[in-house]
Chain A
Amino acid sequence: EVQLVESGGGLVQPGGSLRLSCAASGFTFSSYWMSWVRQSPGKGLEWVANIKQDGSEKYYVDSVEGRFTISRDNAKNSLYLQMNSLRAEDTAVYYCARGGYNFGSWGQGTLVTVSS
């Protein structure tokens, strides 16, 4: 069974940093593109970033380009999202998802709150 478990969310002040992690199991992690998708409270879904199997290609939504960095460790079956210069509008539940553009499996999400 595919499992994706996010961690690392929490309360952070504007301008601060946070690193999210996603532990994957139940499939061959190194064979899949992986993505982060977020959802602000009461709002719709927004794709944030994705990363190729070997990490050689990475793409970001314009609003996080230059502030967020997606990475992966295939030896640890883990996906990461380093978030710097956080803003109030980054407040959201962040989901880890399997796939680069079709998301067939999702984690339960981790809440990031940016507030002073």
Chain B
Amino acid sequence: DIQMTQSPSTLSACVGDRVTITCRASQSINNWLAWYQQKPGKAPKLLIYKASSLESGVPSRFSGSGSGTEFTLTISGLQPDDFATYYCQLYNTYSQVRFGQGTKLEIK
């Protein structure tokens, strides 16, 4: 099974900052990676799919990059609404769907 390692687990930042979250796969998954945002008590929201494709309606300050085994989610110009927990998710095949451990983005 492919393992996912997401880092950091917690990230403190200020409004206006640029932050980066990393996800590493134990073997190549090409670009089959997505990123989600989740706020307390709410369902997750898809932000990025295929490593770098922005989901419709998601602000352009969110961007994804990477391929193979290393991927990043970047938020440029943090807004108050962005403080949440972020998850990466691999989908190598329909039977290999796995989420990372999550990164809680907190206000500094």
The interface of chain A, by Cβ under 8 A from chain B, is: 33, 35, 37, 44-47, 50, 52, 57, 59, 95, 100-104, 106-109
Contacts and interface: CB of A to CB of B under 8 A. Distances in A.
A108 B43 contact: yes
A45 B44 contact: yes
Contacts of B43: 95, 106-109
Contact of B46 (A47, A57, A104): A104
Interface of A is mostly: loop
A59 B99 contact: no
A109 B44 CA distance: 10
B10 to A, nearest CB: 13
B99 A57 contact: no
B101 interface: yes
Interface string B60-98: 000000000000000000000000000101010011011
Contacts of A104: 46, 55
Given A59-B95, A103-B36, 11 more contacts: A44-B101, A45-B36, A45-B38, A45-B89, A47-B99, A50-B94, A100-B94, A101-B32, A101-B91, A102-B46, A109-B43
Most buried by B among A50, A100, A102: A102
A102 B94 contact: no
A47 B94 contact: no
Nearest to A99: B46
A71 B71 CA distance: 34
A103 B99 contact: no
26 contacts: A33-B94, A35-B97, A37-B44, A44-B87, A44-B99, A44-B101, A45-B44, A45-B102, A46-B99, A47-B97, A47-B98, A47-B99, A52-B94, A59-B94, A95-B44, A100-B94, A101-B91, A101-B94, A102-B49, A102-B91, A103-B44, A103-B46, A104-B46, A104-B55, A106-B43, A109-B43
